[in-house]
Amino acid sequence: MLNRFVMIMVGLDGVGKTTLLSTMYHELSRIDNPAGFEVAASEDTHRDLHDAYKKLSTILAQPTFTPTWPLLKGTAGIVERQFEILFKGKKELELVLCDIAGGLVRAKEGNPDFDELKNKLEEAIVIMNVIDGSVLVEGDELLSIQKNDPAQIYKLLLPILRQGKNYLILFVITKCEAWLKNEKTRKQLETAFETQYEMILKLIEGLDNVVGVLIPVKTMGCVEFTRIDSKGEEKEVIFVRKPNLRFKPVDIEQPQRYALAFALVQHNQHRSQWNKFMRWFWNEDVAFQKALTEFAEGRSRSFKIYGNLSLIEVTES
């Protein structure tokens, strides 16, 4: 039975992985939960993510925004954040969420860090590629390689996805507040993504064990892209704090909803015969399926999906 579920975040330094993690955790622990699922963090995970969130709130209480990162000290190597998924107060499965140091994405074969990353990618069932949206839309080729490096992500994913195990890939776009204002700019963001990630999307579409979802989020909601400054060779992306807007995350719990629904479906499909029988006998399977369907219905339908859609369908059967 699959009772430990591994999810991993990939993306270079500064794209917003840790910020995403801490705001996501904060939103998730606030979700009122008629479906009966709960996400509980281990003590360390709770402390770290809670601290990061407090730090972020303090930064955003200032009238001007100074990008301070890393948000949490010591995202060196791979940090495992531990959670438990409870159903009606009882532990259903463990969730391990791996936050990585961005540099790992570029580690070379033969390097022990690279092997560790590869092992985690193989173990995972959900891979979250965090992408800097400002660079995606406004950056030139060099900046795109520096900050998002889609070609490197492709190289990393290719051997993993081809192994045939089921995978959910979430493309989570951060720093895209400026393009989520209307349909036209949303489309601009989507087109930039589809152009620069074409190789990865083609790969996903050619495999029936993989599904991808494009999820642009607002982790802060009040800090917006303004321009790119050049200091000689170096380019700097400039953001400003919008004085009229509040710190207000949007869609931040969506990646987790997609991830958890996917994990719970896999978990439910891989129960042992004995466990299935007991659950049927006690009428637990019906309640679980109903709750899962309800939980999955909280997923927003507005996101673009690539590859085998049936992998994320939740049906009451």
Ligand X SMILES: Nc1nc2c(ncn2[C@@H]2O[C@H](COP(=O)(O)OP(=O)(O)O)[C@@H](O)[C@H]2O)c(=O)[nH]1
CA 169, CA 11: separation in Å to the nearest integer?
13
Binding characters for Mg ion, 70-99, by CB under 5 A (x = yes): x----x------------------------
CA distance 200 to 204: 6
Question: For 171, how many CA atoms within 13 A lie in the half-sphere containing its CB?
Answer: 30
Q: Which residue has the tokens 């990162």?
A: 69
16 is a site residue for ligand X (CB under 6 A)? yes
Cβ atoms of 192 and 256 closer than 8 Å = no
Smallest CA-to-CA distance from 300 within 142, 134, 167, 180 is with 180
**245-264 residues near ligand X, rule: CB under 6 A:** none
167-174 vs 210-216, strand pairing mode:
parallel
Per partner kind, with CB cut-offs from 5 to 8 A, the member of Mg ion, ligand X, none near residue 196 is none
Distance CA 80, CA 100 (A): 9
Binds 14, which of ligand X, Mg ion, none (CB < 5 to 8 A, cut-off by type)?
Answer: ligand X
Task: Kindly state whether residue 147 participates in binding ligand X, applying the rule CB under 6 A.
Answer: no
* 18 makes contact with Mg ion (CB under 5 A): yes
Cis peptide bond N-terminal to 67, omega within 30: no
Binding residue for ligand X (CB under 6 A) from 148, 174, 254, 266?
A: 174
Shortest Cβ distance from residue 146 to ligand X (Å)? 13
We find the least distance from the C-beta atom of residue 178 to ligand X, in angstroms, to be 9
Which residue is at the shortest CB distance from ligand X? 16
Segment near ligand X (CB under 6 A); pick from 84-92, 139-147, 151-159, 170-178: 170-178
Which residues of the shown chain bind ligand X in the complex (CB under 6 A)?
11, 13-19, 67-71, 75, 102, 174-175, 177, 219-220, 223, 239
